[in-house]
Structure 1
């Protein structure tokens, strides 16, 4: 009997959540150091599903949410150095639109059908586009561009995006996460049974991965 067994990690996240970007980087480190074969799946969550399809002016949106420019600067100042530690160059001033992320999650879902690596590449690229380049993730052209860079069949994405394909499926997944008690993201679900909440440090994630893998190897899961 081996000491470890392959496990799955479902990451419930939103691509406009800076903590999810940090969490993605830390998960990569955790997997690399865990010694465990980990398959990652990205699951949808919307920080604010009430944002209209065309998005909102981000400055006005943030002021409405946090009340003052000073408070916004404090939040960004807390996140930026943590991102820098993970190789993220947060550029919050470049973000002009607070998008509705439903379409982005639809594309992530389709990327999953193309394979784990394709989905991982897409999610990484969407984080970069939003937080480092200030691109609008509610813009279909930006989503198609990201899909192309991730290795997806862009003809399929271009055809499906203007339709309602998988809208209800994505919303259903978000509802399922809520019923499971997921109220904030990122949330890492190991083997669909054990949840690690928040952008935990890589060592904590790696330890959780090893523990669940070892329990599976012992036949306890």
Structure 2
């Protein structure tokens, strides 16, 4: 079963969804499931270098709504093992380069780890994941070749590919993240509970097994 998770590296619900997915895969065992992370930019209009996060959030949601949403996310995050430290985040970055790094990490066999690293660095450490220095540190933490990553970041490598994948997700009808796309056919939107994901895995893997038996009988 192919499981593609469409997410953004600065989406707190995606971080919660990642933790819940990890729990689900541990509960299920993850057998016969191939996992890949796909890009989605919640706001591609943010300029290179990012913007002041507090001003950005208040303009987008209003001060009171932003504060209330942050409190809700903190509570759910704690239940998932995340300590959100929104007060440490100074910049809201453009996430294009972080998505490029996630893609390259897939080639390096450490994509799932890289997604975790970027979420942690942004939401718990307050680091700017639009900064090349932070992305290079993340690459080093994941065991990637930092000099190769540095060279790729300085070029336009895969920028258009990321934009096309983002556009494809929207063409599929995805408007919110995280979204779980199974075998390019079924989509579940939102940070699903681990038990819900396990039931979905069991149901679809059973269907695949039945279809395989039918095809060979």
Query: Could you say which TM-score interval applies, normalised by the shorter chain?
Result: over 0.9
1:176 aligns with 2:176: no
- Tell me how many residue pairs correspond in the alignment: 212
Match among 14, 33, 41 for residue 36 of structure 2: 41
Match among 158, 174, 199 for residue 191 of structure 2: 199
Tell me the equivalent position of 2:18: 24
Do the aligned partners of 1:14 and 1:20 also contact (CA within 8 Å) in 2?
Answer: yes
1:88 aligns with 2:82: yes
Do the aligned partners of 1:99 and 1:137 also contact (CA within 8 Å) in 2?
Answer: yes
For 2:184 and 2:22, locate their aligned partners in 1 and report how far apart those are by CA, in whole Å: 19
For 1:36 and 1:20, locate their aligned partners in 2 and report how far apart those are by CA, in whole Å: 19
For 1:210 and 1:18, locate their aligned partners in 2 and report how far apart those are by CA, in whole Å: 27
Q: How does 1:49-68 map to 2 (within 5 A)?
A: 49-68=44-63
For 1:113 and 1:196, locate their aligned partners in 2 and report how far apart those are by CA, in whole Å: 26
How far did residue 36 of structure 1 move?
4.2
Q: Secondary structure at the match of 2:155?
A: coil
Q: Secondary structure at the match of 2:154?
A: coil
Structure 1 residue runs of 4 or more that deviate by more than 3 Å after TM superposition: none
Do the aligned partners of 1:185 and 1:198 also contact (CA within 8 Å) in 2?
Answer: yes
Do the aligned partners of 1:63 and 1:72 also contact (CA within 8 Å) in 2?
Answer: yes
How far did residue 148 of structure 1 move?
0.9
Match among 194, 208, 211 for residue 200 of structure 2: 208
Do the aligned partners of 1:106 and 1:167 also contact (CA within 8 Å) in 2?
Answer: yes
Cα distance change on mapping 1:36 and 1:219 into 2, 3 Å: farther
Tell me the equivalent position of 1:3: none
For structure 2, the residue ranges without an aligned partner over 5 or more in a row are none
